[in-house]
Chain A
Amino acid sequence: MTTTHTDLDVLVLAGGLSHERDVSIRSGRRVADALRSAGMTAHVHDVDGDLLASLRQARPDVVWPILHGSTGEDGSVRDVLDLVGVPYVGTDAAGSRLSWSKPVAKTLLARAGASTPRFTTLPQTLFRELGTRGVLERVLDVLGLPLVVKPASSGSALGVTVVRDAAALPQAMVACFAYGEEALIEQYVDGVEVAVSVVDLGDGPRALPSVEIATDGAYDYDARYNPGRSEYFVPGRLDEAQERAAADLAVLAHRTLGLRHLSRTDMIVDGDGVAWLLDINVAPGMTETSLFPLAAEASPYGVEELYAAIVRRAAGR
């Protein structure tokens, strides 16, 4: 049954100046379409010099920030929304900051009992002070191969390299630092790539069905956004214990970081059934090939009803 929600006016924030602007715009349009189909009024707005004036004039009931990367996920735009005093979908600034930094999120989750691949975080400035050779040698000695090098704060697999050969590590570091000042180097875990989305509609965080991603080769930018390159299983081909472990990890992440309304946790489920935390997203991708909408589709709500319910929750209605 479809309920109509003509009473709510939603401003979807998408775009911004981050490397993921394109993904954000596509996500934003998709969400706005779904909300309109659910009977709401929805407009997409860029993050630009007109935003504050638009918020004052349009006075939307709810803002849904679907901004990937930098200001969209690091909490700063959400701080501004708090200053403006408009309700918004998703995690507040504080929770966004915790999850935006992969090292911080991994550390907090590890303390809360989650498994996460062993890692180290190295800023570019440190190499300038200590030199590169000695530091990278220690990284290889301690973490071993293969390794994954990724920007400490980024999404869409931008700047990510799987390093299987020690000689490729310096180039992976250079590629990573093109995206940001801090690199996260973690042990590569072999297993099934799984994403679990979590929603909280007022009765506590609940995991949606897992999404398993099967890709020929790396789950890189092309595999994420070129339909056909990846095969998705919803729910993932996990046994009951693995599905539970994956769901528990996602809910633990949501609770531990104090996330709100929705989140998506990316993980590897290994052969022993251990779910290894990789990344937590407060503004998960919502494009036509993204994982949150796939999970929503397979949930009892369906996409439109779930998005509408999230908006109503954010609006306090």
Chain B
Amino acid sequence: MTASPPAPQEPLTPGRGTRLDPWYASYAERTHGMKASEIRALFSVANRPEVVSLAGGMPYLAGLPMEIVAEVTDRLLRERGAVALQYGSGQGDVALREQITTVMAEEGITSHPDDVVVTTGSQQALDLVTRIFVDPGDVVVAEAPSYVGALGVFRAYQADVVHVEMDDDGLVPEALEATLTRLAAEGRRVKLLYTVPNFHNPGGTTLSLERRPQVVEIARRHGVLVLEDNPYGLLGFDDLTENPVMPALHSYNPQGVVYLGSFSKTFAPGYRVGWALAPHAVRERLVLASESAILCPSNMSQLSIATYLSTCDWRGQVKSYREVYRERRDATLHALAEHMPHATWTRPAGGFYTWVTLPEGLDAQAMLPRAVTELVAYVPGTAFYADGTGHRYMRLSYCYPTPERIHEGVRRLANVVNAELDLVRMFGTGGAGTRLAGTLNPGPNQA
């Protein structure tokens, strides 16, 4: 039998109202910011094939050798099915944790498998770290702009996010120092510095080699734990012989950094496997917190990835992803240069995103309905600021559409920008406000 038709939870009684949700008064305070979002609704159009979506951060899985993945899964189920489908360790499969240390070694991290906690995507690691460190009202310092999925976690734990300026070389150490000093003077408790040092989401920038030890040292001096989120680190576009992978922040101070990694971008997000590398005591708490949240990460996913890593050329696959994404990055930058003379943008050296600054007065969030009408989608900058600012910016993702579609998308976007610019100039508005309702949470496909 199918689900029941629309019916209110409370019986309709003349003179008595219904909110269609008898639990409305019972929700925790931390859920009050969760709203139905017009933006989220607009993104439902973005999934139609007619729309060029420069919004989604979905990896290009057509580049994955599905036959090999199928063989891996098939072999796993035949040979170790009873283990793969069983509960596992709360900390994660030990063989996979050993392999994770090998993956991290590619970025200069020396680690022990005992200090790795496998999680359901690195998003769960973000949640766990925030859960064990952040009380309501505590401060999390993060780049401006910052990853929307992290902001959602910090909001859920009622943290107060304070943004720190970034430039083309990533987080600005002087701004970080000034912010932490000011917060200390105000008596605020700063618990975490959240940062994406490589191929930033959404900024597309990379923290320079020179700044890395400075950032770690400033955090250490202020007694602030660094939460280093690095899902894109292996997806750099430069020739690795000329520009080797940048050392992780973790490598400068393993006791002061919790490092988050993920297989979502280097292999596939559907497995939902990420990890945290943490100092011993922190790791203990992360494991306990994870067990209380999910008991254990999926054995099926973990063993699939472990088998893939041990039997397939995963480095070759990462290299092939790098080439695909570099071609798309180039297509995006060429198209922007050709069609968007009024805007500026970052030049990512890896990863999935470029960050576009629109002409003065434009509001990317207010402009989104026009873009959807023109069959192109992006994520407005406001998604990436905890305080709802960032109207003038947009994030463009180049990871999923082909170079030809990217070019067409940017061309459509340029028409949208020109039409909106014309309108804003005509009405003399400064894009100071926006009419779109709701917390800007674009959803998993767009994060």
Bound form: Cα–Cα A287–B38 in Å: 15
A37 to B12, CA, bound (A): 21
Contact of A226 among B6, B35, B420 (CB under 8 A): B35
Chain B CB within 10 Å, residue with most, of A30, A36, A172, A222 = A222
Chain B residues positioned under 8 Å from A171 (CB to CB) = 427, 429, 432-433, 435
Which of chain B's residues have a CB closer than 8 A to the CB of A19?
A: 41-42, 45, 369, 372-373
Q: How near does chain B come to A290, taking the closest CB pair, in angstroms?
A: 7
B12 CB contacts on chain A under 8 angstroms: 234, 294, 297-298
| A residues 200-235 touching B (CB-CB < 8 Å) | 214, 220-222, 224-235
Q: Which of B13-21, B186-194, B303-311, B345-353 contacts A (4 or more CB under 8 A)?
A: B13-21
B8 and A297 within 8 A (CB): yes
- Please tell me if A88 contacts chain B, counting CB pairs below 8 Å: no
Count of B residues near A, CB < 8 Å? 51
Contacting pair B44 A22 (CB below 8 A): yes
> Given contacts A34-B6, A297-B7, is CB(A172)–CB(B426) below 8 Å?
no
**How far does the alpha carbon of A89 sit from the alpha carbon of B393 in the complex, in Å?**
44
Give the complex CA separation of A22 and B46 in angstroms. 11
Interface residues of B in 1-40 (CB under 8 A from A): 1-8, 12, 14-21, 24, 35-38, 40
Is the beta-carbon distance between B18 and A158 smaller than 8 angstroms? Answer: no
Q: Is B6 a contact of A36 with CB atoms below 8 Å?
A: no
State which of A20, A170, A297 has its C-beta within 8 Å of the C-beta of B427.
A170
Give the shortest distance, in Å, between B31 (CB) and chain A (any CB): 11
Q: Does B343 contact A (CB under 8 A)?
A: no
Determine which residue in B6, B37, B373, B424 has the highest number of CB atoms from chain A within 10 A of its CB, and name it.
B6
Q: How far is the CA of A85 from the CA of B364 in the complex (A)?
A: 43
Closest chain A residue to B370, Cβ basis: A178
A8: Cβ under 8 A from any B Cβ: no
- CB neighbors of B among A15-32 (8 A): 17-23, 25, 30, 32
A30–B5 CB distance below 8 A: yes
Q: A22 to B21, Cβ gap below 8 A?
A: no
Within 8 Å of chain B (Cβ to Cβ): is A124?
yes
Chain B residues near A303 (CB-CB < 8 A): 5-7
Partner of B15, one of A36, A170, A233, A297: A233
* Chain A interface size, under 10 / 10 to 19 / 20 to 34 / 35 or more: 35 or more
Determine whether the beta carbon of A158 is less than 8 Å from that of B38.
Answer: yes
**Smallest beta-carbon distance B397→chain A, Å:** 20
Contact across chains for B41 and A20 when beta carbons are under 8 A apart: yes
Nearest B-chain residue to A225, judged by Cβ: B36
Instruction: Say whether A107 faces chain B, with CB atoms less than 8 Å apart.
Output: no
> Is the Cβ of B428 less than 8 Å from the Cβ of A175?
no
In chain B between 196 and 232, which residues have their CB closer than 8 angstroms to a CB of chain A? none
Partner pick for A179 among B45, B369, B433, CB 8 A cutoff: B369
Closest to A34 in B: B5
Known: A228-B24, A232-B20, A235-B14. Contact between A22 and B40, CB under 8 A? yes
A293 CB within 8 Å of chain B: yes
Q: Is B249 an interface residue (CB 8 A)?
A: no
How many whole Å from A154's CB to the nearest CB in chain B? Answer: 9
B434 on the A face (CB < 8 A): yes
Binding site for A on B (CB under 8 A): 1-8, 12, 14-21, 24, 35-38, 40-42, 44-45, 48, 50-51, 366-370, 372-373, 375, 420, 423-424, 426-429, 432-435, 437-438
For the complex of A and B, the 8 pairs showing the least CB-CB separation, nearest first, are A34-B5, A228-B24, A175-B435, A22-B44, A293-B6, A227-B21, A231-B17, A22-B41
